[in-house]
Structure 1
Amino acid sequence: MKKLFAVWVLTGSLFAAFSEKIQLAATPEKSDEPGVVCMFSFDLGQVKSRQTADARVSLPATVAGDGMTPSMKLYVVSADGSEKYLVTSTIKTTHSGVNFIITDWFNENSSQAELSFVIRQTESPAPAVSPKPGAKAQLIVDTAEQPGYPLEEMMAPVWESSRMIWETVLPISVDGKAPEGSLLFDPVGEITVRGYALDKTYQSGTDFILDGKTIRLTEKSPIPSLTYKQLYPDSADAPPKTFKSWKGGYIAFTEGNYWNDRQIAVTYEHAGKWGGPVPSTGKKQLLKTKKALRSGEPLKILLLGDSISTGASASGKAGKPPFVPGYGDLLMTYLRSGSQSEITFVNASLGGMVSSWGLSVAPYYAAPEKADLCLLGFGMNDGARVPVEQYIANTKKTMELIKAQNPDVEFILIASFQPNENWRSLSPMDGYLPALKQLESESVAVADVWSMHEYFLKTKRYCDMTGNHVNHPNDFMVRVYAQVIAALLGE
């Protein structure tokens, strides 16, 4: 490959004084080889820190025409010209670029002086993707060397641990009373309260008062809060944005930092007894996958789902502190940490999609992968309009298409966390879980995030655990997703 050396730019602070973005830019080289979008190389000589909480490759791109959603694959190219697959990115035809998160791989390979990549488009009836004229490919590396908290803390099951780690709360004022929010348990001893990004620490007695499970803000507390009317305003023009509520009135909604900037993260010890659902351990299920993990055999895992499965609203997906990745990437990091298996992870998910889309792309983006384990993560967008019978029919047909290419494939069907029931009715989505359970077998298991979230909502508000207030999980719930799925792959 022709060497295309990079320039670098240091951008502004994102995480207190120790998180900045280093951007390496390279001119993409086109190729006449079918399916190749472009090639490029980065010189790492000026990157001082070779450990990072976030590394990603970005390419401004254009899509020629409408049609099926295109899917790209990023490969790293070695000195001898051989290629190794890294990550997949499926995009809408309206997207202006392609992004690939490569944090784990970068941390293992950043000692190299130069990194070379090629982007290939997965064969399908989708329109062709090409680099935007005059634009540069970028390697973006954060100077923060690790996520806000370690893997073992992110993956400590909430239903087993006597220590809650960074449980999130958004204090709300109702009828002019002091803003407050609820924890899942009564803390024992001192608690630690920080901002969502873990960059600010708040003091008990000065900034908040703990009353059983309740965290109540003091009169002059610097902790952010909202009023109930701000959550559920009367006007469609209320900030930040609104959706109509099926119950009447409106519900506050927006992506980005609005909700996370107002949530606090709380760590505490407790002596409470878990009273919620205990996720399945998949006993006598997924035995081939478990055997591969135990024996160190190579394993390919595929994830096909909607925006939640892409990692939407996870801080790591957005490249923000505390850098919790989407549940798929978090799960892969966890599995790799406990197994000698070489795990290939293909995430072909796309935001806004429903199970019928999964069925339509399965012949191109799922079945040909011949994965050993396939995770299907649809339901949140189906739940607005797709009857249970159609949702299950789509799921079964998708599984059949994938199984036709690999009869030994195993499946995890993910029962999504709940939408905000003040936004839309839980029906028909509340019928998806029992219907999915009917599909279980030795090779098919259900990850029940729905029931876990339902239990949390008996104590906590929806705004405590969301990244957009209607249908995206925040970091706390993303971790629960990964924990529930990981339980299925235990002993």
Structure 2
Amino acid sequence: MANKQQAEAFVFMKEEALPLRYKPIAGEPVSARNRSKAVSGDSVEYEEGKDYIIDYDQGTIRRTEGSRIPDGTLHPLYGVSEFDHTKYPDFSNQIYTVYVDYATESETKGESLSARDIESSGWLKRLASKLAAGEEAVYVVYGDSISSGGEASEESLAYFGRFADTLSGIYPEARIRIVNKSIGGEDTSGGASRVNEDVVPLQPDLVSIGYGMNDQNKQPVGNTTSLEAFEQNLRYMIDSIRKAGDTDILLVTPCEPNPNWQYTSGKTSLYADVIRRLGEEFGIGVADAHAEWTAELAAGKTHESLLLNNINHPNDYGHWIYSKSFVSMLKG
């Protein structure tokens, strides 16, 4: 039975072929457009054979010469290393990004999550109990700009919105109320300083904590936050929430930033390792977006195809990668 890969993102450079994440099935419908949702007021639908070509045997896609799809080599930051984004009026990949739907025989999303998966995982005991009873559950999203929804075209397509929608599909009688307390540009020192005011009083059923991107930023000397301070700040947040009650806590690892950005330290994986280790120590679930992200890069996805701001904010497909890590965690 064919599966559907939806809104996989690409930024094309001239007529260079890029690998599709999964092998496509010839003869099945394909849609390529400039917006992740097929129904959009300003959506442009591209035509196979005219604007792009898919090699179904090789599993690749490329733009054609003269295509209506913008050429990524015309981006002002194309080929620029150690760039300072503040010196460019427009550094986004928005106009260059194409979203493609296609059929594949591969297992694509792993979204066949069930109530049994959630209960067996043991990560969401309080949340699962409320949802199973058909009650309202409060989900606090805590973190930096990625957790605030950075670059997702709408809240339902940000990773936390996708995760909440998945849960709502499993527990249709319940209601999940999302309270987003994330702040763009914040690192763990900021999160630790306000957790007792912004999170604890809400008595949430679930809190996801997503930091690391700003902590890893390269500075003239060291990083914005040392690994030791990063761990200490996360410990403080976890302890503060736990002392206040039996709230379920999930930790979220960060994606990889554009390696050509001047603030990329190259040490994001070390910050992700700290998060994984704390998850094991505290018995807390870890949505390992970093592992899912690096798997996408290893499969041939480019940084430009995953980062809408071309720096450190996922596009809609990138937010799907984040949400996939929640499903993988709960399925074990």
Q: TM-score, normalised by structure 2?
A: 0.81
Counterpart of 1:466 in structure 2 is 307
Q: C-alpha offsets along residues 378-436 of structure 1, whole Å, 9 cap, x if unaligned?
A: 11101111222211110010111122222x12210000111112225454321122222
Q: Which residue type is aligned with residue 239 of structure 2?
A: E
User: 1:449 aligned to 2:289?
Assistant: yes
CA distance in 2, matches of 1:356, 1:450: 21
Q: C-alpha offsets along residues 93-125 of structure 1, whole Å, 9 cap, x if unaligned?
A: xxxxxxxxxxxxxxxxxxxxxxxxxxxxxxxxx
For residue 451 of structure 1, report the CA deviation from its aligned partner: 0.8
For residue 234 of structure 1, report the CA deviation from its aligned partner: 5.0
For residue 286 of structure 1, report the CA deviation from its aligned partner: 2.6
Change (3 A) 1:201 1:298: closer
User: Partner of 1:481: helix, strand, or coil?
Assistant: helix
Of 215, 220, 239, the match for 2:61:
215
For residue 271 of structure 1, report the CA deviation from its aligned partner: 2.9
Q: How many equivalent residue pairs?
A: 307
Q: C-alpha offsets along residues 436-481 of structure 1, whole Å, 9 cap, x if unaligned?
A: 2222358511000001110111211111111111100000111222
Q: Which has the larger radius of gyration?
A: 1
CA distance in 1, matches of 2:200, 2:213: 23
Of 292, 300, 309, the match for 2:147:
309
Of 212, 234, 243, the match for 1:379:
212
CA distance in 1, matches of 2:75, 2:182: 35
User: Partner of 1:219: helix, strand, or coil?
Assistant: coil
CA distance in 2, matches of 1:476, 1:347: 21
User: 1:186 aligned to 2:23?
Assistant: yes
Q: Which residue type is aligned with residue 69 of structure 2?
A: I
CA distance in 1, matches of 2:276, 2:89: 32
Q: Which structure dedicates a bigger proportion of its chain to strand? A: 1
CA distance in 1, matches of 2:103, 2:89: 33
CA distance in 1, matches of 2:322, 2:289: 6
Counterpart of 2:186 in structure 1 is 353
Change (3 A) 1:394 1:254: farther
Change (3 A) 1:460 1:314: same
Q: C-alpha offsets along residues 302-349 of structure 1, whole Å, 9 cap, x if unaligned?
A: 1110111111111115xxxxxx53222333333234322333322111
CA distance in 2, matches of 1:235, 1:487: 34
User: 1:422 aligned to 2:255?
Assistant: no
Greater RCO between the two (CA within 8 Å, min separation 6)? Answer: 2
User: CA-atom RMSD, angstroms?
Assistant: 3.2
Q: Which residue type is aligned with residue 438 of structure 1?
A: R
What is the correspondence of 1:73-472 to structure 2 with a 5 Å cutoff? Answer: 162-173=3-14, 178-189=15-26, 190=28, 191-196=30-35, 198=38, 199-211=43-55, 212-227=58-73, 230-234=76-80, 242-243=83-84, 254=90, 258-272=92-106, 283-316=121-154, 324-339=156-171, 340-384=173-217, 385=223, 386-406=225-245, 408-423=246-261, 424-440=263-279, 444-458=284-298, 459-472=300-313
Q: Which structure dedicates a bigger proportion of its chain to helix? A: 2
- Percent of paired sites with the same residue: 26
Q: Is the 8 A contact 2:123 2:285 kept in 1?
A: yes
Q: Is the 8 A contact 2:80 2:260 kept in 1?
A: no
Q: Is the 8 A contact 1:243 1:251 kept in 2?
A: yes
For residue 183 of structure 1, report the CA deviation from its aligned partner: 1.5
Q: C-alpha offsets along residues 116-162 of structure 1, whole Å, 9 cap, x if unaligned?
A: xxxxxxxxxxxxxxxxxxxxxxxxxxxxxxxxxxxxxxxxxxxxx83
Q: Is the 8 A contact 1:196 1:260 kept in 2?
A: no
For residue 273 of structure 1, report the CA deviation from its aligned partner: 6.7
Q: C-alpha offsets along residues 189-240 of structure 1, whole Å, 9 cap, x if unaligned?
A: 242222225422222222222122322222221111221884434599xxxx
Q: TM-score, normalised by structure 1?
A: 0.56
CA distance in 2, matches of 1:325, 1:409: 25
Q: C-alpha offsets along residues 331-368 of structure 1, whole Å, 9 cap, x if unaligned?
A: 33332343223333221111000011000011110111
Counterpart of 2:220 in structure 1 is none
Q: Is the 8 A contact 2:144 2:185 kept in 1?
A: yes
Change (3 A) 1:291 1:253: farther
Change (3 A) 1:361 1:440: same
Q: Which residue type is aligned with residue 25 of structure 2?
A: V
Counterpart of 1:91 in structure 2 is none
CA distance in 1, matches of 2:7, 2:229: 38
CA distance in 2, matches of 1:214, 1:488: 30
Q: Is the 8 A contact 2:11 2:96 kept in 1?
A: yes
Change (3 A) 1:252 1:179: farther
